[in-house]
C-alpha cells in the first residue's frame, strides 16, 4: 500500500481514454489499494486510475465523512441518467480551482467491484456527481472542460 503521485492538469495522460480491465490481477488489486491510500491522504472523495498515471477504467469513491463507504467501480457503465443538478466540483488533478457543472441528479451504473463481481449502483446527488466526475476522467475529460462558471466562493477559500 502506498500513496502515489497525482498527475496534474497539463499532463497529457489526463487526456487519454483509459482501457477496460479484463481480469483481476494482483497488480489491479494493489492499484486499487494505492488509489484509496492516495485519495484519503489528499482528503479527496474520488479518484480515477489515470490520475495516478494508469490508463485503466478503475474508479474509487468514498463520500462518507469517516472513510466508511469505500466504493470501487471497474469498467463502469452508465445505464440510466435522469434529472439535473448544478454541482460544485474540485479535483485532485486541478489544484485550487472549483467550478459549477451540470450533472444528472440520478444515475444507475453497472460495474465490477474489487472482487470483479458485477454490481449495480443507484446513486443520487453527491454520489451521482462523484461517479460522473470520475467516469469523465476515464474518457480524458476534466471538470474544468464542462464547468459553467468558476465557483469563486470555494476557490477563494481553498477548501
Ligand atoms: Ni477529478
Residue 115 covered by a domain: yes
Distance 47 CA to ligand 1 centre (A): 6
Residue 6 covered by a domain: no
**Containing domain of residue 22, as a range?**
12-158
The tens place of each residue's pLDDT in the chain, 159 residues long, gives 799 999 999 999 999 999 999 999 999 999 999 999 999 999 999 999 999 999 999 999 999 887 889 999 999 999 999 999 999 999 999 999 999 999 999 999 999 999 999 999 999 999 999 999 999 999 999 999 999 999 988 877 754
pLDDT at 105: 98
Distance 129 CA to ligand 1 centre (A): 11
Residue 28 covered by a domain: yes
Q: What is the rounded CA–CA span in Å between residue 42 and residue 101? A: 22
Q: What is the CATH number of the domain that holds 149?
A: 3.90.45.10
User: Which residues are annotated as catalytic?
Assistant: 134
pLDDT at 158: 55
Residue 4 covered by a domain: no
Using the Cα atoms of residue 13, residue 54, residue 22 and residue 116 in order, give the sign of their dihedral. Answer: negative
Amino acid at each position: 500500500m502506498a500513496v502515489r503521485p497525482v498527475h496534474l492538469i497539463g499532463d497529457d495522460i489526463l487526456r487519454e481514454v483509459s482501457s477496460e480491465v479484463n481480469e483481476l490481477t494482483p497488480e489491479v488489486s494493489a492499484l486499487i489499494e494505492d488509489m484509496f491510500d492516495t485519495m484519503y491522504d489528499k482528503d479527496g472523495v474520488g479518484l480515477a486510475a489515470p490520475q495516478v498515471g494508469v490508463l485503466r477504467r478503475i474508479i474509487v469513491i468514498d463520500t462518507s465523512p469517516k472513510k466508511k463507504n469505500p466504493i470501487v467501480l471497474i469498467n463502469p457503465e452508465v445505464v440510466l441518467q435522469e434529472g439535473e443538478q448544478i454541482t460544485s466540483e474540485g479535483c485532485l488533478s486541478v489544484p485550487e480551482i472549483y467550478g459549477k457543472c451540470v450533472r444528472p441528479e440520478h444515475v444507475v451504473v453497472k460495474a465490477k467491484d474489487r472482487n470483479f463481481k458485477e454490481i449495480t449502483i443507484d446513486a443520487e446527488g453527491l454520489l451521482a456527481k462523484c461517479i460522473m466526475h470520475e467516469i469523465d476522467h476515464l474518457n480524458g475529460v476534466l471538470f474544468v472542460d464542462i464547468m459553467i462558471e468558476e465557483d469563486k466562493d470555494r476557490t477563494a477559500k481553498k477548501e
